[in-house]
């Protein structure tokens, strides 16, 4: 009995010792686990705050008239975002701070915003080892490429309709919204040019000083404010002229962009018509581009067509749309001081196989069904000058083919962003939303069925832009803002 009692007492003593030894190990481990989990939580929050600060700072690099002002804007914005996303005293932390620096010299046409964030995180169980706090440090960097952007604005006659509830024309609203759009970009760094089109195309070369008056006192915003709206919709020629500027500048370090806004279907073909004329009396200047357009409605097969009109103009305030091509003589369309443009079919019955920019007037778009109007009639150049619908189909084809030229430039990798202004003209002249999605190569094509999905698969490896709709001109500003935000997201990658 005595031995049994002694063994039990010894067992209890050993249990106490083992328990004490176990607790001496497990309690610090539990404490370490708690502190590590706390540090991880704080570091994750600090990293997210630094990431958001660097991205916001990169986007803010467009704000300011000078590079110094833009740098200050980026630093101030990044600091504000950091403070907003990492509140003082978060999980009893102290001394949270972020150092923001901007590097604008290491890489051409690229600026980076670096955020180095630090905070003191409290320790709890590890204080038994005289460790009161731990320093956490994270770094985040976001960059912004400079952009080379050509703005391409529709100034066709349909833009002169008064928008309900505004008392203003769509043209007037567009000028205000497009000028405001320019403010999203950085003077001195970004490079912006302008194309405005009806039948003829107006061109202003790209410049980094787009808010500084030139020798004639013009800026990009002031030129937009001066433009007048008149005549037709030579969309392909306008985008071709914008693309010529991108290739002339030839800077792959920049993000190359064409921003295209239209309120209707393309309805004019720009070409060298001296190669297809039949009437021997009619003389056209060889190698000079001219425009033939439809004046009867895009869906009809009979009605007025007109030409050959001047393809370019040097005036933003009074375009020479609706004027016969300079240098033509003895032509029916050029009688009585350009008042007989609808007689062009007497001089030129056929459209050429390619436009002035070497884009085919044939499909594939004319052989697809549009979401808003079916191009079910294949294009036939023979006799097409007298058929409004054939001119529209050819115009859609050359626009589609021109956009393909742009997107398949693997040196510059240009992006096309476009806006459709709806409700601003006859139903059969409304913007073709599927065509505009296709030329922008909008990622939304991926979610479509039928021909939209086919287009997406055909163009999947080409640069993806963005397509925005303005239901009417009073909402055009929202569409411009959406496009600006989409471009800004790309710039800040």
Q: What is the mean pLDDT of each run of 10 residues along the chain (493 residues)?
A: 52 54 51 74 94 91 89 95 94 94 92 95 75 90 93 93 87 96 94 95 97 96 94 94 98 97 93 83 89 85 89 84 80 71 91 94 63 60 89 92 97 97 77 92 90 89 96 93 88 66
- pLDDT of 23 reads 44
Counting Cβ atoms within 10 Å, is residue 492 exposed (0-12), middle (13-18) or buried (19+)? buried
Helix (H) or strand (E) holding 296: none
Under DSSP, the state recorded for 476 is H
Asked if 181 and 271 count as a contact pair (C-beta separation under 8 A), the reply is no
CATH level 3 topology of 147-268+339-491: Rossmann fold (3.40.50)
Phi/psi at 246 (nearest 5 deg)? -60, -45
- pLDDT of 18 reads 47
Asked if 292 and 306 count as a contact pair (C-beta separation under 8 A), the reply is yes
Look-up of token digits 């686990």: 33
- In the chain, which residues fall in CATH 3.40.50.410? 147-268+339-491
> Whole-angstrom Cα distance, residue 404 to residue 1?
101
**In terms of DSSP bridges, do strands 415-421 and 290-294 run parallel, antiparallel, or are they unpaired?**
unpaired
Q: Hey, what's the torsion of the CAs at 63, 66, 71, 72, to 10 degrees?
A: -80
> Whole-angstrom Cα distance, residue 212 to residue 220?
9
- pLDDT of 437 reads 95
Give the SS3 label for residue 384. helix
> Whole-angstrom Cα distance, residue 443 to residue 453?
10
Give the SS3 label for residue 84. helix
């Amino acid at each position: 009995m005595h031995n049994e009692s002694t063994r039990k007492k010894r067992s209890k003593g050993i249990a106490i010792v083992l328990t004490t030894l176990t607790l001496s190990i497990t309690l610090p481990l539990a404490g370490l686990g708690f502190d590590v989990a706390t540090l991880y939580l704080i570091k994750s929050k600090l990293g997210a705050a630094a990431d958001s600060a660097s991205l916001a700072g990169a986007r803010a690099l467009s704000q300011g008239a000078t590079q110094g002002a833009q740098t200050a804007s980026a630093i101030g914005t990044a600091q504000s975002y950091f403070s907003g996303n990492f509140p003082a005293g978060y999980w009893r932390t102290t001394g949270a701070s972020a150092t923001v620096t901007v590097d604008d010299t290491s890489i051409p046409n690229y600026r980076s915003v670096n955020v180095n964030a630090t905070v003191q995180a409290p320790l709890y169980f590890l204080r038994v080892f005289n460790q009161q706090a731990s320093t956490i440090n994270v770094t985040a960097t976001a960059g912004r490429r400079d952009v080379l952007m050509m703005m391409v604005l529709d100034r066709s006659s349909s833009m002169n309709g008064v928008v309900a509830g505004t008392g203003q024309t769509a043209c007037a609203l567009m000028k205000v919204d497009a000028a405001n759009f320019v403010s999203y970009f950085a003077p001195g760094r970004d490079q912006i040019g302008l194309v405005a089109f009806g039948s003829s195309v107006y061109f202003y070369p790209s410049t980094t000083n787009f808010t500084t008056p030139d020798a004639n006192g013009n800026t990009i915003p002031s030129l937009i404010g001066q433009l007048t709206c008149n005549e037709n919709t030579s969309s392909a020629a306008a985008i071709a002229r914008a693309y010529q500027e991108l290739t002339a500048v030839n800077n792959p370090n920049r993000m190359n962009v064409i921003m295209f806004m239209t309120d209707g279907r393309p309805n004019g073909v720009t070409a060298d018509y001296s190669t297809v004329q039949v009437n021997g009396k009619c003389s056209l200047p060889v190698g000079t581009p001219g425009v033939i357009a439809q004046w009867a409605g895009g869906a009809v097969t009979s009605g007025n067509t007109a030409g050959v009109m001047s393809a370019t103009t040097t005036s933003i305030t009074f375009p020479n749309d609706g004027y016969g091509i300079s240098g033509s003589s003895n032509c029916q369309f050029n009688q009585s001081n350009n008042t007989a443009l609808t007689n062009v079919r007497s001089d030129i019955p056929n459209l050429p196989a390619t436009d002035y920019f070497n884009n085919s007037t044939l499909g594939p778009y004319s052989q697809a069904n549009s979401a808003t109007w079916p191009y079910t009639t294949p294009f036939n150049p023979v006799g097409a000058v007298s058929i409004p619908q054939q001119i529209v189909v050819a115009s859609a084809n050359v626009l589609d083919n021109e956009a393909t030229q742009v997107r398949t430039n693997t040196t510059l990798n240009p992006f096309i962003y476009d806006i459709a202004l709806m409700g601003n003209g006859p139903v059969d002249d409304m913007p073709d939303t599927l065509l505009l999605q296709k030329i922008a190569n909008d990622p939304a094509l991926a979610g479509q069925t039928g021909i939209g999905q086919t287009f997406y698969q055909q163009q999947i490896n080409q640069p993806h832009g963005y397509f925005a709709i303005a239901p009417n001109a009073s909402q055009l500003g929202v569409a411009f803002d959406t496009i600006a935000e989409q471009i800004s997201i790309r710039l800040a990658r």
